[in-house]
């Protein structure tokens, strides 16, 4: 396996609104699309039913490449590509995978009309590309992955918001 550099693993916000809310971040670096896919696979292997992964990054940042790896980590046999024209692709693997692409979303209400709660709080895994376009609809417990970089080098800040996602991030980082 290609080594993925863990840059930080520090608590960002230990308390939120009077309730103990776990929020931690770990940063990974990759040097190629293949390494990005391996990182995705590592993430996918750590996910459990009800996991939501919100991907944030510019066009061409590597969101779909990471999603392919996540799907592989969840043992999805299908070819995974961006569902830009349908908003959601469904895949079966170890768990159902619901791949959202919000790039063409005109407003958060457009997503709200699809009833995202049935996906967000179901028995599958939800991966959302362009998640920042409907941030107010995202569940309170999720992994947020901010992707940046240039050429083939990428930085992935994986931020766990909520206790279930914090446990998933702990499995990813170990």
- Is residue 172 within 8 A of residue 40, CB to CB? The reply is no
Confidence category of residue 8, pLDDT binned at 50, 70, 90 = low
C-alpha to C-alpha distance for 149 and 36, rounded to whole angstroms:
12
Domain enclosing residue 27, as ranges:
5-173
Distances (CA, A) of 77 to 71, 80, 86, 131: 8, 9, 20, 25
Give the mean pLDDT of the chain. Answer: 86
pLDDT in tens, 61-81: 999 999 999 999 999 998 787
Number of domains in the chain: 1
Q: Is the pLDDT of residue 141 over 70?
A: yes
Whichever domain contains 82, its CATH number is 3.40.50.300
pTM: 0.86
H helix intervals, the chain:
33-46, 63-73, 108-112, 117-120, 163-173
Q: List beta partners, residue 128.
A: 54, 100
Whether 64 contacts 40, CB under 8 Å: no
């Amino acid at each position: 396996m290609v080594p993925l550099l863990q840059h930080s693993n520090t608590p960002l916000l230990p308390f939120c609104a009077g309730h103990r809310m776990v929020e931690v971040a770990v940063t990974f670096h990759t040097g190629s699309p293949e390494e990005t896919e391996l990182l995705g696979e590592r993430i996918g292997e750590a996910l459990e039913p009800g996991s939501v992964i919100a991907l944030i990054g510019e066009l061409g940042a590597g969101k779909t490449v990471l999603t392919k790896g996540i799907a592989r980590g969840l043992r999805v046999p299908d070819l995974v590509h961006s569902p830009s024209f349908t908003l959601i692709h469904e895949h079966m693997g170890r768990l159902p995978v619901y791949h959202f692409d919000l790039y063409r979303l005109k407003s958060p209400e457009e997503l709200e009309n699809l009833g995202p709660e049935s996906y967000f709080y179901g028995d599958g895994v939800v991966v959302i590309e362009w998640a920042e376009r409907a941030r107010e609809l995202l569940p309170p417990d999720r992994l947020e992955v901010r992707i940046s970089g240039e050429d083939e080098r990428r930085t992935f800040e994986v931020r766990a918001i909520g206790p279930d996602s914090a446990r998933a991030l702990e499995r990813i980082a170990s």
